Structure 1
Amino acid sequence: MTRSLLRSELRQLVRSLVLDWNDLASHSKAMLFYTAQHYLDGKIPWEMTFEVDRWPDYTAVLWTGNNDASAPSFAKKALFLHWTSENGLRQLLKLTSMKWTSPLLLIAFPLSGLSILKEHLELQGVPFPEFSFCDTAYYLHKTCPTVEKVKMTDNKVSITPLKPEHSQLVSRTWKFGGTSEVEERIHYQISTFPSACVYDQDGNPVSWIMFNYYGSQGAGYTLPEHRGKGYFQLASKYLISICLQKGYLPFLFIEHDNEHSRVVHRKLGYSWVEAGRCAYIHLNRKKSSG
C-alpha cells in the first residue's frame, strides 16, 4: 500500500520541495508545494489526503480532498500528481486508495505521464476521455514594480483585490464557470488568497485575475466594453507584485490554442517551455442531458 502522510510528515515533505527558478518545467512540484503549505497554514479548510509511493524517500505524490462533509464538491473531484520517477508513478497509481470510477478532474497533469495513466485506467476499466492541452507559463523576471508603483494609465480607475460579492460575476464570465459549484470555489478563493481587480470610477469591476489554492493564477477576464485599455495588464502586474512579495513563483496555465493569451502574457514577462505541457482530464464525467 501507499503511505498517507501525517501532518508532521507533510511538513517534512514541504521542506524537501525547493522551488528553483531555473527548473520551471516542474509545475506539479510548485502545485504540491503551495497546496501542502496552504493546507498546513489552515488556508484550505477541508481535509486532504497526501499519498506517497514510499517514505521518506518518496518519488511520487498524489493529493486530493477527502470525500467527506468537510470538502466542497470541487475539492473532492480535484486530483493532483507529482513524480520524479516513472516507476514511482506506476506504483502510486496501482496502490493508491483513490477510487478511479468516481468523477475526477486531473488538474494540469504533466504529459510525460500520459501513457502510464492510460495504461492504469485501462486496467481499472475506466475509459480515457478527451482532454484539453495547456502550457505552463512562468513569470521569468523580477522587474515588476511593487504594488504601490503599478502605474495607472487612467485616473478614473483604481486597482485593489476582488471582493467576495463579485464571485457571481467572475463565475458568470469565466469560460468554465456559471454553476453554483464554480461560484462557491471562486468565493472561497477571493476570500482567502490574493487577487487583483481594476474598478471604474463608480467602483464596478472591469478587469481581474485570481489566485488558485494550488498556487497558479487563473480566471483572468476583462469585460468586453473595457478591452484594449491595458486594464488586464494592470491587474496582472498588481497580482505578480503581490506574489513576488509573498515569495510565490508566479505561474499560470494557457490553453494551447489561446494565442491572444500568449501574446498578452509574453508582454507581461511570462515564458513557457515544451516540458511544461500538461492536460486537464475529466474522468467519469456525467454527460449533459441537454
Structure 2
Amino acid sequence: MKILTSEELKKAETTLESYLPKCIKVYGYLLGINRKKPHTLEVVVDSWPHFKTIICRTDLKNKKSADYMKKVTLFSTDGQSLKRMLMDDSAIDWSTYFLIGGLDDRHATLLKEVCVTRQVPVQLFTQVRLMTLPDPSRLPGLDINSDTASRISSLNESHIDLVNKTWKFGGSAQGFRNIQKLITNFPSCCITDDQGNPISWVLVYDYCALGLLYTLPEHRGKGYAKILISTISKSLRAQGYSVYSFIEEENKVSYRLFKGLGFTEEPAYRAVWFEFNN
C-alpha cells in the first residue's frame, strides 16, 4: 500500500479518466485536490503506478480533520485487491463512526463480509443514481427573462447559515463548517430576491458533484432549479470539471429534473453509502 504524493495524485487523476463514470467520486476528489482546493484527505493505492484499488480517506494527521465527518471513498477494478486493502489495518481506521460513500454496489457484498470478519456494525445509509452530463450542448434552451437573469449570482459567506438550515444533512456546527468550505472554495450559483437574498441555489461538493439544490418553498414552481443547473453546468465544463450529480433512488422529482435537462443515467451502475459503528 502506498500514500500518493502530489505529483502521483495528478497521474492517478489521468489514469482514472479511462474508468469514468464508475470511478467518478474518487476522480472528483482528485480534481479538487489537484486544483489546490482545501481538503483533509490522503489517497492510498494498493500498488503504484499500476493500481487496482484507490482509497480516499481522512488524513488523521491533519488538525482540521476533526472539524468534518469522517468519510471514505474508494474505487476498485478487482475484488481481491479491494478485500486485501479492506483487511489491512493500516488502510482504513475502523474504530469510530464513518461513512463510505459512492461505493459501486457490486462491492457491497464484499464490504459486508469484511465487516462481519472485523465485527464492525454496518448499515445502508442511502442508494443513489449517477446522473452525468458529458456534453453541455445537450442542455435545452431556457427562456430566462431579463429580471431573473440579473439576479443570478454566487453564494457568499453571509449565506452559509441559510444553506445550513435548509440542507437535509445540515443544521449543525459541523454542517456549517462543511458548507462554509464549499461556498468559499468551490463554484456555486444562486438566484436572489429584490433585496439580494438567495431564494434558490445549488452548490458543488468537494468531490465536484452538483448538490444541495434548494428553492425556498414560497418561490418554487418558477423554473429556478433548471436555470441554476444549466448555468453552473456550463461554467463547470468551461473550467474543466466533470458535470454530474448523485440522485437518491427515492427522489423522483430531482431525477426527472436532471433527466429533462439532458443528464443521462449510468444504467448498470448504482452507488451506495454505508455507515459504520453508528
Correspondence list, 1:194-233, <5 A: 194-233=187-226
CA contact under 8 A between 1:144 and 1:241: conserved in structure 2?
no
Matched with 1:114 is 108
Is the counterpart of residue 12 in structure 1 residue 11 in structure 2? yes
Matched position secondary structure for 1:55 = coil
Residues in 2 aligned to 1:154 and 1:244: alpha-carbon distance in whole angstroms: 24
CA contact under 8 A between 2:132 and 2:245: conserved in structure 1?
yes
CA contact under 8 A between 1:64 and 1:75: conserved in structure 2?
no
Matched with 2:272 is 279
CA contact under 8 A between 1:200 and 1:206: conserved in structure 2?
yes
TM-score by length of 1: 0.88
CA contact under 8 A between 2:25 and 2:102: conserved in structure 1?
no
Is the counterpart of residue 137 in structure 1 residue 131 in structure 2? yes
Matched with 2:147 is 155
Residues in 2 aligned to 1:214 and 1:90: alpha-carbon distance in whole angstroms: 24
CA contact under 8 A between 1:61 and 1:92: conserved in structure 2?
no
Deviation at 1:232, TM superposition (A): 1.0
Cα distance, 1:32–1:74 mapped onto 2, change above 3 Å: farther
Matched position secondary structure for 1:17 = helix
User: Which of 175, 183, 186 does residue 182 from structure 1 map onto?
Assistant: 175
Residues in 2 aligned to 1:150 and 1:182: alpha-carbon distance in whole angstroms: 33
Residue type at the aligned position of 2:178: R
Deviation at 1:275, TM superposition (A): 2.5
Correspondence list, 1:24-39, <5 A: 24=21, 26=22, 29-39=23-33
Residues in 1 aligned to 2:233 and 2:142: alpha-carbon distance in whole angstroms: 10
* Structure 1 stretch displaced more, 136-145 or 121-130: 136-145
TM-score by length of 2: 0.91
1:18-75 CA distances to partner (integer Å, 9 max, x unpaired)? Answer: 257xx53x1xx222223223223321243x3211112221100111121245334364
Residues in 2 aligned to 1:90 and 1:207: alpha-carbon distance in whole angstroms: 43
Residues in 1 aligned to 2:178 and 2:37: alpha-carbon distance in whole angstroms: 13
CA contact under 8 A between 2:31 and 2:207: conserved in structure 1?
no
User: Which of 100, 114, 127 does residue 94 from structure 2 map onto?
Assistant: 100
Q: Which runs of 5+ in 2 are unaligned?
A: none
CA RMSD of aligned residues (A): 2.2
Residues in 1 aligned to 2:204 and 2:18: alpha-carbon distance in whole angstroms: 18
Cα distance, 1:19–1:240 mapped onto 2, change above 3 Å: farther
Residues in 1 aligned to 2:67 and 2:103: alpha-carbon distance in whole angstroms: 17
Q: Which runs of 5+ in 1 are unaligned?
A: 286-290
Cα distance, 1:270–1:134 mapped onto 2, change above 3 Å: same
1:80-113 CA distances to partner (integer Å, 9 max, x unpaired)? Answer: 0011111121121112512212111111111010
User: Which of 117, 121, 124 does residue 127 from structure 1 map onto?
Assistant: 121
Residue type at the aligned position of 2:187: P
CA contact under 8 A between 1:51 and 1:63: conserved in structure 2?
yes
* Structure 1 stretch displaced more, 111-120 or 149-158: 149-158
Deviation at 1:211, TM superposition (A): 0.4
CA contact under 8 A between 2:136 and 2:233: conserved in structure 1?
no
Residue type at the aligned position of 1:18: E
